[in-house]
Amino acid sequence: MVLVAGIAAGVLVNSAGSLQAQAQQTGEETQAEVSNSLSLDTVVGESTSGDSIDKIKMNTRLGAGSGAVNLSRTIFVIESDGKTDTVTSDDFSISEEQGSLADGELLTSQSDVAKITIDLDDTDVDDLGTKDTIEIIAEAPSGSRTDIEGQAPTDIQDSHIL
């Protein structure tokens, strides 16, 4: 009886150690994902043709408590009207909106705001017509994802907040 209790205690101690190590690893991975994230603020659709939105401009900043994020290594996934495209830094431009970007592409401070401009004509997603919806997902280099949705207005002229 004592031998069985001793073996059971050994198994429990071994299992507890294994579970603690697994929980610690999961916590570290989660913290890395959450700690380096982006916040997508204002999204503006721009029409250069007058009848459809062909450019998307987004203000982005660091997520709450985030460390630095390299925007040139950020991926944007755009979905509209059943079409999806992954947009890399080759297909979008980065400009300073507020604060300063280290090396022109690195958000380092909570007060920094960058404008990301995506020309829909350079993607597989069609220009937005009236009332078309769009979803944009930003994936930071750490793997954290942030999304925002918008809808084109019923009357498209110049620029509109989506």
Q: What is the pLDDT of residue 90?
A: 92
Residues 6+ apart with CB under 8 A from 58: 40, 41, 42, 43, 44, 115, 116, 118, 136, 148
- Convert the pLDDT of each residue in 66-84 to its tens digit: 999 999 999 999 999 999 9
By C-alpha distance, which of 88, 91, 159 is closest to 122?
Answer: 91
Distance CA 63, CA 146 (A): 9
Domain extents in the chain: 1-35, 37-161
pTM: 0.74
- Convert the pLDDT of each residue in 106-157 to its tens digit: 999 999 999 999 999 999 999 898 889 999 999 999 999 999 998 888 888 7
Q: Which strand ranges, in their side-by-side order, compose the sheet holding 75-80?
A: 83-87, 75-80, 133-139, 145-151
Measured in degrees and rounded to the nearest 5, phi and psi for residue 140 equal: -70, 160
Q: What percentage of the chain has pLDDT greater than the value 70? A: 77
SS (H, E, C) 93-151: EEEEEECCCECCCEECCCCCEEEEEEEHHHCCCCCECCCCEEEEEEECCCCCEEEEEEE
Q: State yes or no: pLDDT of 28 exceeds 60.
A: no
Q: What is the pLDDT of residue 35?
A: 64
Q: Specify the fold of 37-161.
A: Immunoglobulin-like (2.60.40)
Q: Which strand ranges, in their side-by-side order, compose the sheet holding 159-161?
A: 92-98, 113-119, 55-62, 38-46, 159-161
Residues 6+ apart with CB under 8 A from 142: 32, 33, 35, 36, 37, 69
Q: State yes or no: pLDDT of 34 exceeds 80.
A: no
